[in-house]
């Protein structure tokens, strides 16, 4: 007790300092994003002239100009991105959970070797498979479709999520599947009826990160998608980068805000789950 006392008697000052430091840091960290929102609401000519003040009165002109500024509606890019991300989520949730269940629960020849291979692919830089994959998808006529990005998800190529699910299945008491064994369920029925519903927290984490990472996966979208009507949000923003000098900064900033909205909305809704997911599983975030 006497030892703990000095800690308790410490004046409130260090805590005040800490809170001030945290507040200032948080503000500085978020400031570029706040600035983005403010700047997007200013008239084009005033974006740089008054960089710190509030945009009063706010104007929507940049948004109106930006929405159609690339020759396509920005809404189309958002719909395209959501389709791409949505199907990717379904692929990862189904494929990674099934494969994860098999690795966590079933015995089969070469199990350890295959599991080690699966772990190794997590660390593999994608550049090493990039060009042959591109050639393959080109031969299949899949270039300029979303298939090169979607099909791998249904083949559980994102091994990280398989690993995440393996860890989660291992935390489920075995008695639950052994009960299914007594009922004469096969492995697939056991997975689908017993394990899959219990995986919900891990599946939500998988779905959230698949959505966010696919949404931001500029590289794949850049190399595979060429038709403007199939452009996704990152590709739509790239059009502004390519076509404009300073003249269309307003539109570009406004559409950058629009592009960030889904990710920020996801974050606000699933904030705790996202941050806990990073904390417990070391998701690279």
Partner 1 sequence: MSMPSAAGAHSAASGPSAQARRWRQRHSASAFLMLSPWLIGLVVLTIGPMAMSLWLSFTNFDLLTTPDFVGTRNYAYMLRDPRFAQSLWVTFIYVAVSVPLKLVVALALALLLAKASFGIGPYRAIFYLPSLLGGSVATAIVWRIVFGADGIFNVALGWFGIEGRSWISTPDTALSTLIALSIWQFGAPMVIFLAALKQIPADLYEAAAIDGAGPARMFFSITLPLLTPIVFFNLVLQVINAFQTFTPSYVISGGTGGPSDTTLLYSLYLYLEAFTKLRMGYASAMAWVLLAIIGIITAALFITSGRWVFYADKGDRT
What are the C-alpha distances in Å from 127 to residues 121, 176, 223?
12, 42, 13
Q: Which stretch binds partner 1 (CB under 8 A): 55-63, 70-78, 198-206, 256-264?
A: 256-264
- Under a CB-based contact definition with an 8 Å cutoff, are residues 87 and 146 in contact? yes
Nearer to partner 1, 117 or 200 (CB): 117
> What residues between 17 and 46 interact with partner 1 by CB under 8 A?
18-19, 21-22, 25-26, 29-33, 35-36, 39
Interface of this chain with partner 1, residues 83 to 122, rule: CB under 8 A:
95, 98-99, 101-102, 105-109, 114, 117-118, 121
Under rule CB under 8 A, residue 145 binds partner 1: no
What is the longest distance spanned by two Cα atoms in the chain?
76
**CA 188 vs CA 48, 97, 152, 192, 195: distances in Å:** 60, 12, 21, 6, 10
Check residue 206 for interaction with partner 1 (CB under 8 A). no
Considering the rule CB under 8 A, would residue 176 count as an interface residue with partner 1? no
**Three-state DSSP class for residue 149:** helix
Distance separating the N- and C-terminal Cα atoms of the chain: 42
Output the six-digit token pair for 26. Answer: 């948080």
Q: What is the smallest separation between the CB atom of 64 and partner 1, expressed in angstroms?
A: 19
Binding status of residue 69 toward partner 1 by CB under 8 A: no
Return the residue of 52, 113, 171, 227 that touches partner 1, per CB under 8 A: 52
Which residue bears the tokens 């004469």?
A: 184
**Residue of 20, 24, 48, 247 interacting with partner 1 (CB under 8 A):** 48
- Would you call 11 helix, strand, or coil by DSSP? coil
Build a one-symbol-per-residue string for 216-255: x at contacts with partner 1 by CB under 8 A, - elsewhere: x-xx--xx---------xx--xx-xxx------x--xx--
156: left (phi over 0), alpha (psi -120 to 50) or beta: left
């Amino acid at each position: 007790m006497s030892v703990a006392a000095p800690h308790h008697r410490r004046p409130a000052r260090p805590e005040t300092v800490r809170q001030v430091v945290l507040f200032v840091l948080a503000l500085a960290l978020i400031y570029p994003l706040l600035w983005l929102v403010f700047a997007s609401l200013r008239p084009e000519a005033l974006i740089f002239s008054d960089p710190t003040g509030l945009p009063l009165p706010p104007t929507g002109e940049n948004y109106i100009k930006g929405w159609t500024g690339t020759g396509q509606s920005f809404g189309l890019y958002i719909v395209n991105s959501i389709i791409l991300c949505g199907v990717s989520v379904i692929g990862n949730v189904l494929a990674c959970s099934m494969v994860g269940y098999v690795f966590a629960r079933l015995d089969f020849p070469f199990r350890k070797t295959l599991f080690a291979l699966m772990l190794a692919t997590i660390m593999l830089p994608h550049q090493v498979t990039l060009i042959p994959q591109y050639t393959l998808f080109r031969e299949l006529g899949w270039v300029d479709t979303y298939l090169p990005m979607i099909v791998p998800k249904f083949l559980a190529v994102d091994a990280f999520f398989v690993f995440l699910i393996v860890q989660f299945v291992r935390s489920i008491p075995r008695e639950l599947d052994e009960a299914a064994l007594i009922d004469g369920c096969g492995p697939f029925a056991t997975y689908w009826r017993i394990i899959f519903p219990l995986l919900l927290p891990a599946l939500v984490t998988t779905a959230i990160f698949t959505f966010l990472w696919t949404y931001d996966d500029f590289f794949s979208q850049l190399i595979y998608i060429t038709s403007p009507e199939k452009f996704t949000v990152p590709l739509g923003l790239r059009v502004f980068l390519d076509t404009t000098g300073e003249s269309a900064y307003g539109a570009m900033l406004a559409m950058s805000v629009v592009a960030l909205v889904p990710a920020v909305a996801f974050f606000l809704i699933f904030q705790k789950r996202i941050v806990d997911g990073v904390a417990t599983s070391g998701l690279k975030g």
